[in-house]
Amino acid sequence: MRTQILIIGSGPSGLLLGQLLGTIGIETVILERASREHVLGRVRAGVLEQGTVELLEEAGAAARLRAEGLPHSGISLAFDGRLHRIDIEALTSGRHVTVYGQTEVTHDLMDKRDAAGLTTIYKAANVTLHDFDGKAPFATYDKDGVTHRIDCDFIAGCDGYHGVSRKSVPDRALKTFERHYPFGWLGVLAEVPPADHELVYANHERGFALCSMRSTHRSRYYVQCPEGDRVEAWSDDRFWDELRRRLPEQTAASVVTGPSFEKSIAPLRSFVAEPMRFGRLFLVGDAAHIVPPTGAKGLNLAASDVRYLFAGLRDFYRDKSMAGIDAYSGKALARVWKAVRFSWWMTTMLHRFPDTGDFGQRIQEAELDYLVHSRAASTALAENYVGLPY
């Protein structure tokens, strides 16, 4: 088999890149190691920057998002037992975010790819990338007991942190930067209305909490938990009690409880791999970088990578120009590091660290107080939250 672009991974970044390339007649094949059902079963983020929404519109995959997504013009920070709202729309000349689950984005893009008759190969085992440092890259994989080969012009590694793409790069060619945070997020999904019509980020002496949602009837809540905690130790009742303890009284009173249908603990880390291009192999999204979910940047960073790579590949096939491809890694990383900084800042400002101490606690309190009372500081948060320019 031969294609122009081979995409490794059928998550949102791989599907979005394939959809955008398909709109301008560039051939793609997607290789995915898991089943379609497994990919659709992943529960992930749900806050989309305006730029991500616009890119989905460009791909022709935003009809359901526009009908069901929840535009948000602000967020609230909870501390001192009170809510402090940041009007991100007013501070950014009308820009906002949209709450729409990553699973729904994946579903919409899968449906568009199916409708276009484009090839996605699921349950592809032992995927191996070859000769991407030359002019004729290809990949091999096993399926149904047979080894197959796909030749291509370029390979887009959209297969996440644990995927084969970054692992295929020689260690000497890759530099990584990493920070682990000494706690996790215990999250639940429940079919209950959200406690607030916008997201609430809470700083509390017992630890961080987040009130989020996926729709007007499905809520996503998180509490900071110690590193090494087990999900089995958290009954629904214990979770709801702990969440309400960390929220201002009026917000806690608005929390509607119910049985959770998904509960998990996610570790928090910051990770960046440089560069993001190796000959004819490009790293995209989580294959190249991970951020704590505090800043709602994971999926949005993957979308910005796709935007830069799509533009470079479009120019290559349309104008025979390598300029966009050559610029991909530098452009993507410049935006990545700003998002890494923002996510790190939000995380350090809102969480209780084991070594915070009395001094560190006073610094957090001063930072939060300054943030909500300074228009300049609030504007900086708002600009980053809605997404920096591409």
Residue 174 CA to residue 66 CA, distance in Å, equals 40
- pLDDT tens profile 218-262: 999 999 999 889 999 999 999 999 999 999 999 999 999 999 999
Q: Please indicate, yes or no, if residue 205 is contained in any of the structural domains.
A: yes
* Residue 164 shares a structural domain with residue 311: yes
Q: What is the mean pLDDT of residues 182-193?
A: 96
- Decide if 22 is inside a domain: yes
- Whether residue 106 is contained in a domain is answered as yes
Q: What is the pTM of this model?
A: 0.94
- The full DSSP string for 265-322 is EEEEEEEEEE-SEETTEEE-GGGTEE--GGGS-HHHHHHHHHHHHHHHHHHHHHH---
Same domain for 49 and 105, yes or no, is yes
**Residue 88 is assigned to a structural domain of this protein:** no
Catalytic residues: 72, 201, 293, 297, 385
Half-sphere exposure of 121 (CA within 13 A, CB side): 21
Per-residue pLDDT, 175: 97
60 and 169, same domain (yes or no): yes
pLDDT in tens, 49-70: 999 999 999 999 999 999 999 9
Res 356 pLDDT > 90: no
Whichever domain contains 241, its CATH number is: 3.30.9.10
Give me the count of residues in the chain.
390
Q: Which of 149-158, 222-231, 239-248, 354-363 is predicted with the least confidence, judged by mean pLDDT?
A: 354-363
**Does 10 reside within a domain?**
yes
Residues 227 and 289 in one domain: no
Residue 316: give its domain's CATH number.
3.50.50.60
Q: Does 151 lie in the same domain as 63?
A: yes
Q: Which domain holds residue 328?
A: 5-72+97-177+269-347
Separation of alpha carbons 277 and 156, rounded Å? 9
Same domain, 136 and 35: yes
Q: Let me know whether 280 and 338 are in one domain.
A: yes
- Are 186 and 254 members of one domain? yes
Convert the pLDDT of each residue in 300-337 to its tens digit.
999 999 999 999 999 999 999 999 999 999 999 999 99
- 15 and 101 part of one domain: yes
Tell me the HSE value of 248 on the side-chain side, using a 13 A CA sphere.
Answer: 16
Average pLDDT, the chain: 96
Q: How confident is the model at residue 43 (pLDDT cuts 50, 70, 90)?
A: low
Same domain, 134 and 280: yes
Tally of domains within the chain: 2
